[in-house]
Amino acid sequence: MKPLTYCFLALPLLCIIFYFAFHGEEPRGKGVSPEKSLTQQPIYHQPDKRQIVEEKLAALRLKESQFRQQAIEHEKTMAKLAGQITPEIQKKLTDGVIRGRLPHYKELFESWKLTPLVADKVVSIIHEREYQLATERTRHTKTGGNGDTNRLYEKMANDALISGRHQDLLSEILTQEQRAELTQLDQKLRRPAKSKSID
């Protein structure tokens, strides 16, 4: 065999020897040794706890901001509606409230054996009290006081003054026990009455 032929046959073998002499044993996978493959794999970090907390706080702040904006829009709407309640309309609303309560009052008055004159006087005092309370609620809503804590305390104080004045008037014609029963009845009946006024 000619020397040139030997050279062509030996050339691939020399290349293989040369490769392994510089790169070592053929690794598994994609040419990375098992030891290196373990250390060079991508590391997936778990989410940072602080980042999770910050994301939750940001979501809560967003909800709070949205809720506050909705409350502001709701108060504007209620204030606009309250602005349309004139004293005449407020009186008609109060008349409707008292008409709904009247059967309950009559039943109570009959148990006390009140005369028609005294019973009418009691109903008149109650009507005036409810009218003033409803007017105060409307005024409070009209001026946008529902979201103001100080204004809310002011309204509660005014409500107490109104109720106190009319309680004094009732004390002139009813006994203490009768006033207590009437107050208890009012507490039961007042909840439906609120739906008929601007709150």
At 100-119, the pLDDT tens digits run 999 999 999 999 999 999 99
Domain count, the chain: 1
| Nearest Cα to Cα of residue 169 among 127, 108, 106 | 127
* Domain-embedded: residue 112: yes
pLDDT at position 193: 45
Q: What single-letter amino acid sits at 186? A: D
Residue 72 predicted with pLDDT over 90: no
pLDDT tens per residue across span 88-100: 999 999 999 999 9
pTM surpassing 0.75?
A: no
Residue 83 predicted with pLDDT over 60: yes
Residues 26-31 have a mean pLDDT of 50
Residue 8 predicted with pLDDT over 70: no
* Domain-embedded: residue 185: yes
* Domain-embedded: residue 160: yes
* Domain-embedded: residue 43: no
pLDDT at position 160: 94
* Domain-embedded: residue 44: no
* Domain-embedded: residue 134: yes
Segments forming the whole domain that contains residue 80: 49-194
* Domain-embedded: residue 183: yes
pLDDT tens per residue across span 127-174: 999 999 999 988 888 876 656 778 888 889 999 999 999 999 999 999
Q: Taking the C-alpha atoms of 38, 40, 41 and 46 in order, what is their torsion angle to the nearest 10 degrees?
A: 110
Residue 134 · residue 164 · CB < 8 Å: no
* Domain-embedded: residue 5: no
